[in-house]
Amino acid sequence: MAEPVPGSEPQPSASVDEDELVRGAREGDLAAYDELVKRYQERIYATLYHMTSNHEDANDLAQEAFIKAFHALKSFKGGSSFYTWLYRIAVNKTINFLKQRKNRTHMSLDDMDFNAEHDPDLMALISDQTPRRAAGLSELQKKLNEALMKLSEHHRLVVVMHDVQGLSHEEIAEAAGCNVGTVRSRLFYARQQLQGFLADYLKTT
Amino acid sequence: MNENENNFESLRRLLALKRHETPPPGYFDHFSGTVMARIRAGEGGAAERQESGLSWLSRMLAAFEAKPAFAGAFAFSLCLFLVFGIVYAERPDVLPQPMLQSQQDSSPLAYATTPGGLNSLPAEQPVAVAISSSTNPVFSSQSAGPWFASQGAAVQPVNFILPGN
């Protein structure tokens, strides 16, 4: 199961209001849509950032995804949650973008927040032996992002949504437009690949 | 699957560090405002485009972008139309049958399309009718000779001399 990520769980009261907000936005109420944007901007942005490893690209893609979703609201039938539907738009847009950007990769390497330096997991992972000791925070981040970028878009998406964003297999399947079995197999394959890429940075048990 | 989860525990903890990668402070304070401004600007732009008569094209392109199936169906219908056009163009000439049938009895055009050609045209039939009734080239240089011969006309070479030469 995916670990819950702070801020990623839908709040009960918020989900009740969501239908009304969607209905209002569909009728052209921009204030209602503004509320929906505020509600999901961080999660959508974070996913797109981890997919692209670039803040500027993630910013553009997130904005375009929200704009496209607004114009496509009339086609939203309500079969899934608005969040999943929005996620699918953002993900499709990002995968298309990444296919076009195939040969162009640039990372932003100094984007970790201050709290990362005090994360016990990070301290534990930067071992006191081997090259891991020398690897600073930015070096680790660079390697992590490089390893992720070596995965195909679909495998990276599943890892990001599950291991970084904390979404369940079912939610990922709905957003990615595939079945749960495919999500599980992609996740397993992607993790295997990452383990190989990041062998130096993973503690041997 | 649980065993797999345990095998990847270190990797998952490492990947979880990416949650610390955040945009600059205050970034989300302006995000929704920017999105809403772009939506408003887009609506204004759409109204202007509608006035200029280009909206149908932009709507079609937007539909292509939003629904790949629609784009595929449009492309398929275009291909089908092209193939139909090529096949139809390569067929042997087909004359409009109803027109011919209505003039089947005595029209010179009907004679021109029969295997005997104009050679079987009755002598009293005026040729001008055949010319005026069709835009197709009815006569050829080969078929003119026998018809004139059947009229008993002698063909003589003519040599014009221009004044001053």
CATH number at residue A168: 1.10.10.10
Cβ contact B147:B119 at 8 Å: yes
Give the range among A17-31, B46-60, B77-91, B110-124 with minimum mean pLDDT: B110-124
| A2 within a domain of the structure (yes/no) | no
Distance separating alpha carbons of residues B95 and B131, to the nearest angstrom: 17
Q: Looking at the predicted structure, is the pLDDT value of residue A147 above 80?
A: yes
Q: What DSSP letter does each residue of B59-76 carry, written as one string?
A: HHHHHHHH-HHHHHHHHH
Distance separating alpha carbons of residues B120 and B138, to the nearest angstrom: 14
Chain A contact for B8 (CB, 8 A cutoff): yes
Residue A193 sits in the same domain as residue A123: yes
| A98 within a domain of the structure (yes/no) | yes
**Geometric angle at alpha carbon A81, from B16 and A15, rounded to 5°:** 85
Please give the mean pLDDT across all residues of chain A.
Answer: 80
Higher pLDDT, A95 or A113: A95
Give the pLDDT score at A86.
92
Contact B23 A45 (CB under 8 A): yes
Give the pLDDT score at A69.
94
Mean pLDDT, range A122-145, rounded to an integer:
65
Distance separating alpha carbons of residues B118 and B120, to the nearest angstrom: 5
Higher pLDDT, A119 or A189: A189
Q: What DSSP letter does each residue of B115-160 carry, written as one string?
A: TTGGGGS-TTS-HHHHHHT-SS----HHHHHHHHHHTTPPP-----
Distance separating alpha carbons of residues A195 and B99, to the nearest angstrom: 80
Chain A contact for B26 (CB, 8 A cutoff): no
Residues from chain A contacting residue B17 (CB–CB below 8 Å)? 112, 116, 119, 121-122, 125, 140-141, 144
The nearest alpha carbon in chain A to B2 belongs to A1
Mean pLDDT, range B125-152, rounded to an integer:
53
ipTM over 0.85: no
What pLDDT band is residue A66 in, cutting at 50, 70 and 90?
A: very high
Determine the residue type at A95: I
Higher pLDDT, A38 or A116: A38
> How many domains is chain A partitioned into structurally?
2
Higher pLDDT, B14 or A59: A59
Give the pLDDT score at A107.
47
Residue A131 sits in the same domain as residue A197: yes
| A107 within a domain of the structure (yes/no) | no
Mean pLDDT, range B86-115, rounded to an integer:
60
Q: Looking at the predicted structure, is the pLDDT value of residue A19 above 70?
A: yes
| A32 within a domain of the structure (yes/no) | yes
Residue B87: helix, strand or coil by DSSP?
Answer: helix
Mean pLDDT, range A164-188, rounded to an integer:
91
Determine the residue type at A201: Y
Give the pLDDT score at A143.
86
Residue A81: helix, strand or coil by DSSP?
Answer: coil
Distance separating alpha carbons of residues B36 and A92, to the nearest angstrom: 21
Task: Give the closest-approach CA distance of A163 to chain B in angstroms.
Answer: 6
> Which residue segment(s) compose the domain that A95 sits in?
11-102
Mean pLDDT, range A107-119, rounded to an integer:
53
Contact A140 B17 (CB under 8 A): yes
Contact A184 B1 (CB under 8 A): yes
Contact B36 A195 (CB under 8 A): no
- Long-range pairs for A74-82 at CB < 8 Å and ≥24 separation? A74/A26, A75/B66, A76/A22, A76/A26, A78/A19, A78/A22, A80/A174, A81/A10, A81/A15, A81/A18, A82/A18, A82/A22, A82/A36
Residue A172 sits in the same domain as residue A153: yes
Q: Looking at the predicted structure, is the pLDDT value of residue A60 above 90?
A: yes
Identify the CATH number of the domain in which residue A54 sits. Answer: 1.10.1740.10
Counting residues of chain A whose pLDDT is more than 70, the rounded percentage is 74
